[in-house]
């Protein structure tokens, strides 16, 4: 914990008493701010009061007496309707910000650099990979934001430090001064429309990753979807160094890996090449994109291509994202629990063949209909959770499937069939294409349950610790 000195002498209302909110309250107080803290949850308020937090009923507080409202990113800012604290703040004419905005102001004041990563898919792996590469290169780096640590649990900003921050659209919505030294937008597909209302609104929030950049900054933008391609054109006006990234097209100018070989190209000339197909933790086209983004960020900070390639080679991967957790003979078990929608699951299905696929949970709009072209890569499917019946209807006669009910049953059935079939290159893959909330509190717990089920198989060789908690990174 460190003081948020940029709010010294100011009065701040903080709504939301979860981990990040509590850390923000303590940081503001340490920095000399007066804080009024509240939550809609009565138990959270009582817990905060017992912990000595400065609890004040914000319903009764005159917002004309405060300088800013710090809002938890999970609280609605606009859709389906603004939270009551937001309405009060707007009426009083005060700014509505999040903890990441305060942190960014602290980092700027200290002379630190920020690499900010957003996008619908791939941002967590990209964030972790950048942090790994920069650490391997000897830079003073810390990683957090929407992944891992809340920002005020990171090290105190200091001159020369680099902070690699994963930012959700919810967090960006609360960062009016967002100006990263390196801004990264991976891709945009439909998600969080209940929070943003329309795709246009969602894309507009993501585009703000580049909007305040200027000369000397670097913008890395995927151009393999129409939304991002349009945003890249708009980013040209900021004066930043725009680098387009594609794993579908062979770009004349940009960073490309359409064939699995990363090529850094400027004006048609190849400056550097890295064979991503040799990277064990970077399988699949989506991971090639993550690698291209990491390469672009690292080179923007002066890291050479050889150092980047070595770091990528020893990157251990990120838990719950196409992570190999064990092996039974030649059959690997892959934990891709983070694949909570069809677009994310598509990446894993495209990366392997002869797949014994575990899928299901609470389906997103469209279910697994978009995955039909990849069904030939699937040997058998094992369905779990609430979506099992709907997924079975979509699969139909396309491939054999089994309604297993639970994840534990699915793991055993998948191994049984993979061993019986004896297909070369067979893989047991958990890539649910669903949210987890019917059976698990979140995708991490679901992934941990998969690891535990795999670890209990007789004769299994685990490639990560079999204890569920140890599987987390």
Residue 148 has pLDDT above 80, yes or no: no
- Please report which confidence band the pLDDT of residue 189 belongs to, taking 50, 70 and 90 as the band edges: confident
Same domain, 83 and 110: no
Q: Has residue 108 been placed in a domain? A: yes
Show the CA angle centred on residue 194, arms to residues 193 and 196, nearest 5°: 55
Residue 402 has pLDDT above 60, yes or no: yes
Q: Looking at per-residue confidence, does 33 or 193 come out higher?
A: 33
- Boundary (domain end) residue, out of 294, 313, 332: 313
Same domain, 41 and 72: yes
Domain count, the chain: 3
Residue 313: cis peptide before it, omega within 30 degrees of 0 = no
Same domain, 343 and 444: yes
pLDDT score, position 426:
97
Q: Has residue 400 been placed in a domain? A: yes
Tell me the mean pLDDT in the region 350-359: 95
Report d(CA 317, CA 298) in Å as an integer: 18
Same domain, 373 and 344: yes
pLDDT score, position 196:
75
At 276, list the tokens: 């991503």
Find all residues with CB under 8 Å of 220, minimum gap 6, and list them. Answer: 182, 183, 184, 185, 243, 245, 255, 293, 296, 297
| Segments forming the whole domain that contains residue 335 | 323-471
Percentage of the chain beyond pLDDT 70 is 98
DSSP string, 290-304: HHHHHHHHHHHTT--
Report d(CA 167, CA 186) in Å as an integer: 12
Q: Has residue 145 been placed in a domain? A: yes
DSSP string, 235-282: HGGG-SEEEEEESSS--SSEEE-TTSEEEEEETTEEEEEEEGGG-TT-
Residue 468 has pLDDT above 50, yes or no: no
- Provide the 10 A C-beta neighbour count for residue 215: 8
* Positive or negative torsion for Cα 415, 417, 423, 426: negative
Residue 209 in contact with residue 174, Cβ under 8 Å? no
pLDDT score, position 162:
98
The most distant pair of C-alpha atoms in the chain lies apart, rounded to whole Å, by 71
- 403: CATH: 3.90.190.20
- Please report which confidence band the pLDDT of residue 471 belongs to, taking 50, 70 and 90 as the band edges: very low
pLDDT score, position 472:
42
Q: Has residue 83 been placed in a domain? A: yes
The string of pLDDT tens digits covering residues 74-108 is 898 988 899 999 999 999 999 999 999 999 999 99
pLDDT score, position 126:
95
- Boundary (domain end) residue, out of 313, 336, 362: 313
The string of pLDDT tens digits covering residues 102-134 is 999 999 999 999 999 999 988 989 999 999 999
* Positive or negative torsion for Cα 265, 268, 271, 274: positive
Coil/strand/helix, residue 82? coil
At 387, list the tokens: 């979506």
Closest Cα partner for 120 from 322, 286, 297, 246? 286
Same domain, 270 and 285: yes
- Please report which confidence band the pLDDT of residue 473 belongs to, taking 50, 70 and 90 as the band edges: very low
Same domain, 305 and 341: no
Same domain, 184 and 233: yes
At 18, list the tokens: 């979860």
Closest Cα partner for 335 from 316, 358, 361? 358
- 252: CATH: 3.40.1190.10
* Positive or negative torsion for Cα 68, 72, 78, 82: negative
Report d(CA 421, CA 412) in Å as an integer: 14
DSSP string, 165-207: EE--HHHHTT-TT---SEEEE----S--HHHHSSHHHHHHHHH
Tell me the mean pLDDT in the region 124-149: 94
Residue 126: cis peptide before it, omega within 30 degrees of 0 = no
Least confident window among 229-243, 246-260, 270-284, 456-470: 456-470
Is the whole-model pTM more than 0.75?
yes
Name the percent of the chain in helix, strand, coil, to the closest 5: 40, 20, 40
Same domain, 160 and 294: yes
pLDDT score, position 183:
98
> Measured between alpha carbons, how far is residue 21 from residues 48, 73, 147, 172 in Å?
11, 10, 16, 16
Same domain, 224 and 189: yes
Same domain, 171 and 291: yes
- 28: CATH: 3.40.50.720
At 268, list the tokens: 């048609």
- Boundary (domain end) residue, out of 97, 130, 153: 97
Closest Cα partner for 328 from 142, 451, 444, 462? 462
Same domain, 36 and 138: no
Same domain, 306 and 196: yes
Q: Has residue 233 been placed in a domain? A: yes
Percentage of the chain beyond pLDDT 90 is 84
Q: Has residue 318 been placed in a domain? A: no
């Amino acid at each position: 914990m460190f003081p948020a000195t940029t709010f010294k002498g100011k009065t701040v209302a903080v709504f939301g008493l979860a981990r990040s909110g509590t850390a923000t309250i303590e940081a503001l107080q340490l920095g000399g701010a007066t804080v009024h803290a509240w939550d809609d949850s009565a138990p959270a308020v009582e817990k905060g009061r017992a912990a000595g937090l400065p609890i004040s009923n914000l319903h009764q507080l005159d917002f004309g007496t405060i300088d800013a409202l710090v809002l938890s990113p999970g609280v609605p800012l606009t859709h389906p309707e603004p939270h009551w604290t937001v309405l009060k703040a707007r009426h009083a004419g005060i700014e509505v910000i999040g903890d990441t905005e305060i942190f960014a102001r602290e980092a700027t004041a200290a002379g630190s650099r920020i690499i900010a990563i957003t996008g619908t898919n791939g941002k967590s792996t990209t964030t972790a990979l950048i942090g790994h590469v920069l650490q391997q290169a000897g830079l003073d780096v810390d990683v957090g934001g929407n992944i891992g640590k809340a920002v005020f649990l990171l090290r105190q900003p200091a001159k020369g430090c680099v902070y690699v921050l994963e930012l959700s659209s919810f967090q960006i919505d609360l960062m009016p001064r967002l100006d990263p030294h390196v801004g990264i937008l991976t891709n945009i597909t439909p998600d969080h429309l209940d929070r943003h209302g329309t795709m246009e609104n969602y894309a507009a929030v993501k585009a703000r990753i580049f909007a305040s950049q200027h000369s000397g900054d670097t913008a890395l933008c995927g151009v393999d979807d129409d939304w991002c391609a349009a945003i890249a054109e708009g980013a040209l006006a900021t004066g930043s160094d725009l680098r387009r990234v594609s794993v579908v097209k062979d770009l004349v100018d940009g960073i490309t890996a359409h064939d699995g070989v990363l090529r850094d190209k400027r004006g048609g000339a190849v400056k550097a090449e890295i064979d991503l197909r040799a990277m064990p933790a970077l399988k699949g086209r989506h991971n090639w994109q993550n690698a291209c983004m990491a390469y672009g960020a690292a080179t923007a900070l002066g890291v050479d291509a050889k150092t980047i390639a070595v770091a990528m080679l020893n990157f251990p991967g990120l838990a719950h994202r196409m992570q190999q957790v064990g092996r039974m003979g030649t059959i690997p078990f892959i934990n891709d629990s983070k694949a909570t929608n069809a677009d994310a699951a598509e990446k894993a299905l495209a990366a392997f063949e002869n797949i014994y696929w575990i899928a299901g949970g609470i389906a997103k709009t469209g279910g697994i209909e978009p995955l039909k072209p990849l069904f030939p890569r699937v040997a058998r499917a094992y369905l779990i959770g609430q979506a099992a019946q709907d997924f079975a209807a979509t699969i139909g006669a396309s491939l054999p499937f089994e309604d297993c009910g639970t994840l534990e049953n699915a793991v055993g059935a998948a191994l049984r069939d993979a061993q019986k079939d004896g297909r070369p290159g067979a893989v047991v893959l958990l890539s649910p294409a669903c949210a987890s909330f019917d059976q698990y509190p979140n995708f991490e717990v679901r992934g941990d349950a998969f690891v535990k089920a795999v670890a209990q198989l007789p004769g299994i060789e685990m490639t990560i610790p079999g204890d569920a908690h140890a599987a987390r990174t």
